[in-house]
A and B are shown apart, each in its own frame.
Chain A
Amino acid sequence: MNQGAKESAARLDSLILGLVFGARRRVGWWAALAVSLGLLGLFVVSIAMVVGRGIGVWGLNVPVAWGFAIVNFVWWIGIGHAGTFISAILFVSEQSWRASINRFTEAMTLFAVACAGVFPLLHLGRIGVWYYLLPYPNDQGLWPQWRSPLMWDFIAILSYGTVSALFWFLGLVPDLARFRDRAPKLWQRRVFGLLALGWRGSSSQWIRYGQAYLLLGGLATALVVSVHSIVSMDFAISLNPGWHSTIFPPYFVAGAIFSGFAMVVTLLVPLRRMLGLGEWITLRHFDNMGKILLLTSLVVTHGYFMEAYLAWHSGDPQEMELLRQRLSGDASAVFWATIVFNSLLPQILWASSVRRNLGLLFVLSLLINVGMWLERYLIVVSTLEQRFLPASWGAFSGSFWDWGLFVGSFGLFFTLLLLFVRALPVVSLHEMKEHLAHETKEGGSDG
């Protein structure tokens, strides 16, 4: 490392240590935490209502037996995928720009998966016996039904949550050791010392650590593709019009990365300012994320087009009717909002000036988040409202507790995120130092 890189590394070190150990009062952070805790309260009350009174408090009916719980589940788990994409795929493909944002996005993944995991459990209807999903020898002689997509989901979420947590923790270990060595108070040194597990930074440790991290990145890459493919198969293996389609897995994966990157932008724009990370999370990062948003928007748009084309080309009356309902029927408002937010508006990202305009990017990312939620609403609800026989058609609208759970889940997400940024290193210090050292080498002035 040359002198400039060393100074940069020292500045980053003191900034990240200061976020956790500094005495500065952060009014914005406290205000955000207060709002998040309020929403978390709503979430807890909504869960209590569902557990206490049953899922009848939701707007579900016959024929719409899947509602907000499934929409929210798909939406949250999709958001997690951008974190895994950044930490795993960009790591394996040696995109060094990810180093300053991967820790944060990994945390985002973890918390999004935590939110996502709540909904299928509640959707079971009898949360008290959720453990029936576990394969354990029991006195009833029952086993889970492995041919059911519910079990596929359960194992996919279990694997995804566990691997995301492992990936996050493994990346944290050297930085926890940094905190152990710099914490001002004894109890803090003890806590971080315990968590760091005795990391010493020896070359033998780095060799095994680096190899394991690389392999874990490769495995997590497989998860980005497989988890949302499995989620999409919940729909695709059914025979419902609008769901029974081979296009679903790639269409869902692209949508997941699209919505996840939108959430990364939504979170990073204000947090970058709040935490003073402007030097590390630069316009280049937003420019790159803007490009990924544009690319995934085009893939998702292709999915929309193909979905409509295949419905028309199939000549199947149910598929045609569903398409008609979406284009000009009862579902048209949600459908066209989806198209505007997810397909048309992102086209402004062709201009690099837009990709580097944080205000505009923030607003766009919010609209994409809304658009992607509407897309899932369209897939889940509008299909169920109009299946085969017109006599069995019905309408759905979310109840107060449906909305309470959805809005309240932001409370869980943001509370965890805000506690994370004040308790753990929000930027990967060791990766940034390695990145700075590499830059020095490329500049040829080590020493």
Chain B
Amino acid sequence: MGKEERISFDSGIMARFEAERDLKAACSACEELGVGPWEAFTPYGVDGIEKPGTESAKRSVSKGVLVGACLALAIGYALFYYSSVVDYPYRVGGRPVHSWPAFVPMLFELAVLGGALTAVGLALFGNGMPAWAHPVFYFKGMEDVTGEGLFLWVSCEREGDFEQVESLLREARALSWERKEHGK
């Protein structure tokens, strides 16, 4: 359940919470009871909402950035080598055409650039963006999710899920919730 985009928003409950600790309690309860999949929506990154797959998502970003940086470095070196040794060898001041120490500052910068581009790419495309239309935007009060609203979506696909989730939300002191059922 690492990716939000794998969750269906066709049938389930969107609940709103007042306090962070209540939201976190509800998330933990969802995990313990095995309901969902679920997804929390918050105005800032809340520590302690641990979803399965959190660590692997973080690792995949880190690995991606490393690969991006190495790739940029390799492409840069290939370009410098090809252009100054193979295609246009030109001796300056008696120095060898393959003056690799002179390439180092640029290779460092290119590696940083490659890593940065990959990081932003993963933060955006890996997060299912751009997505100017999304089912969560249509829930009541969702515009507060960027302000002070704390929300939890729990998918309800099986018989009896709605009741179980509602009882869980009551226990976790959810402020309000909205049901969404297939085709409605």
Contact = CB atoms under 8 A, between A and B. Distances in A.
Contacts, number: 215
A446 B129 CA distance: 32
Nearest to A434: B44
A53 interface: no
A10 interface: yes
B61 interface: yes
Contacts of B102: 146-147
Given A177-B146, A230-B109, A433 B44 contact: yes
A313 interface: no
Interface stretch (A123-131, A209-217, A413-421): A209-217
Given A202-B40, A447-B19, A144 B83 contact: yes
Nearest to B88: A143
Residue of A145, A169, A233 contacting most chain B CB atoms (<10 Å): A145
B175 interface: no
A208 B126 contact: yes
B62 A163 contact: no
B143 A200 contact: no
Interface in B44-80: 44-46, 49, 51, 54, 57-58, 61-62, 65, 69, 79-80
B147 A178 contact: yes
Contacts of A431: 44
Interface string A217-252: 001101100110110010000000000000000000
A141 interface: yes
A197 B129 CA distance: 6
Given A142-B88, A147-B99, A209-B123, A201 B146 contact: yes
A222 B112 contact: yes
A174 interface: yes
Interface SS of A by simple majority: helix
Interface stretch (A25-33, A151-159, A286-294, A378-386): A151-159
A186 to B, nearest CB: 14
B51 A215 contact: no
In the complex, which range does the number of interface residues on chain B fall in? 35 or more
A155 B110 contact: yes
Interface SS of B by simple majority: helix
A151 B57 CA distance: 37
A170 interface: yes
A94 B105 CA distance: 28
A9 interface: yes
A201 B126 CA distance: 14
B143 A430 contact: no
Contacts of B83: 135, 143-144, 146
B170 interface: no
A204 interface: yes
B41 A215 contact: no
A166 B120 contact: yes
A198 B51 contact: no
Contacts of A177: 146
A199 interface: yes
- Pairs A-B, 3 closest by C-beta atoms: A212-B123, A198-B131, A143-B83
Given A147-B99, A204-B3, 5 more contacts: A147-B92, A170-B123, A182-B147, A203-B49, A219-B112
17 contacts: A6-B148, A145-B90, A170-B120, A181-B143, A198-B130, A201-B146, A202-B40, A203-B4, A203-B49, A204-B3, A205-B128, A206-B46, A211-B62, A219-B116, A222-B112, A226-B108, A447-B20
